[in-house]
């Protein structure tokens, strides 16, 4: 059974995914990682599956993030990147282990920096070769994201490698850059990256309450994070909004240190500001909080009830929200929220 044409997002259990038997799945991300060696997960169509070890909160078993395209799709591989493409969209994923443990590589670079450079070079090569040049959304999961190693925090090593790979592949690290997030994953996990790309360029959206991430001052690292706060794509009569990982940051400063509930409220205020910008940017857009599918990352599992209460108050009890435990890019941030929405819109 196929969905109507256009991108669709579902959060499912393994049993729900297996029973659906959809023929238009573009790609899947799984969380908890217990199925990482299960060849049955992808199914006979060769659907790419990003296996992320980040634990699921408030639910039993693994979580399946399923992206459907509503039309026939074809699978392929380019080096380590596994992908599936429809006429307009491509979903891809790559997992790159860090070689050498904690030792520097032969060229003196930290292992995470080498893994990130390899992943991004192969992603850029894939979208160029398949003619889906516009990256819409990228998800990055790296182990021990906040740990200091080889003289700097691992998240800063990741940002350096990402930005250098973009420059080396002829992509500017500022302005028209994809929406993205970067979260921690369990120790000994590989770097896992999955992404959506399109043939058509999206609209790039920034938040007036925040400094653009690619303009952060050097106190956050020698190389700024290279992502837009959101991207917005019109595909025929459908609008698709991808909101990057969003946290309790105003300007470029973290707010409400130590207060999980207040950080959650500030994060939601930032998302509301992004929705207002998206609605202004594209004629016919009418995104609201209760139209979003949200993925919420909580640093401390004990804080989950506080975060859930704030989300339910803001979005209502029927909202599509899933909760994961993960370390966040700044050690003083306790919660991060990403979101997506798709709906028909008159041309």
CB atoms within 10 A of CB 96: 20
**Cα–Cα distance between 81 and 49 in angstroms, integer?**
11
Pairing mode, strands 179-185 and 134-143: parallel
Q: Give the closest residue to 246 by CA, choosing from 339, 107, 108, 341.
A: 339
Angle of CA points 215, 221, 226, to nearest 5°: 45
Count the alpha carbons within 13 Å of 45 in the hemisphere toward its beta carbon: 18
User: Cα Rg for the chain, rounded, in angstroms?
Assistant: 19
CB atoms within 10 A of CB 131: 10
CA distances from 334 to 21, 65, 264, 327, 347 (A): 37, 23, 8, 8, 40
Q: Give the closest residue to 319 by CA, choosing from 340, 302, 305.
A: 340
Question: Which residues in 60-81 are b (16+ Cβ under 10 Å) and which e?
Answer: eebbbbbbbbbbebebbebeeb
Q: Are 233 and 137 in contact (CB under 8 A)?
A: no
Catalytic residue among 88, 206, 277, 336: 336
Q: Are 224 and 159 in contact (CB under 8 A)?
A: yes
Q: Are 285 and 278 in contact (CB under 8 A)?
A: yes
**Is residue 121 classed exposed, middle or buried when 0-12, 13-18 and 19+ CB atoms within 10 A define those classes?**
middle
Query: Is 114 an annotated catalytic residue?
Result: no
Q: Are 27 and 132 in contact (CB under 8 A)?
A: no
Catalytic residues: 336
């Amino acid at each position: 059974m196929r969905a109507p044409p256009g991108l669709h997002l579902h959060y499912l259990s393994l049993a729900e995914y297996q029973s659906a038997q959809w023929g238009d799945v573009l790609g899947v991300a799984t969380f908890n990682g217990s199925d990482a060696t299960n060849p049955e997960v992808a199914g006979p169509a060769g659907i790419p599956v990003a296996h992320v070890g980040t634990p699921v909160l408030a639910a039993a078993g693994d979580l399946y993030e399923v992206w459907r395209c509503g039309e026939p799709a074809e699978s392929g591989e380019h080096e380590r990147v596994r992908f599936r493409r429809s006429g307009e969209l491509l979903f891809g994923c790559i997992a790159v282990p860090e070689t050498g443990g904690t030792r520097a590589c032969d060229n003196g670079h930290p292992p995470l920096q080498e893994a990130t450079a390899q992943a991004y070079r192969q992603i850029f090569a894939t979208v160029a070769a398949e003619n889906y040049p516009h990256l819409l959304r990228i998800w990055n999961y790296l182990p021990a994201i906040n740990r200091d190693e080889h003289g700097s925090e691992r998240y800063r090593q990741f940002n350096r490698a990402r930005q250098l790979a973009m420059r080396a592949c002829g992509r500017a690290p500022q302005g028209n850059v994809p929406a993205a997030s970067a979260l921690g994953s369990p120790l000994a996990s590989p770097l896992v990256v999955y992404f959506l790309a399109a043939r058509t360029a999206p609209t790039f959206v920034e938040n007036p309450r925040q400094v653009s991430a690619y303009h952060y001052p050097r106190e956050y690292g020698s190389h700024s994070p290279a992502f837009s706060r959101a991207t917005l794509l019109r595909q025929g009569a459908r609008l698709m909004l991808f909101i990057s990982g969003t946290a309790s940051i105003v300007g470029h400063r973290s707010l409400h240190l130590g207060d999980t509930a207040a950080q959650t409220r500030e994060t939601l205020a930032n998302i509301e500001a992004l929705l207002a910008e998206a609605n202004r940017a594209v004629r016919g857009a009418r995104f609201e909080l209760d139209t979003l599918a949200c993925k919420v990352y909580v640093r401390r599992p004990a804080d989950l009830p506080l975060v859930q209460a704030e989300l339910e108050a803001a979005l209502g009890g029927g909202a599509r929200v899933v909760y994961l435990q993960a370390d966040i890019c700044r050690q003083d941030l306790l919660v991060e929220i990403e979101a997506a929405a798709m709906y028909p819109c008159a041309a």
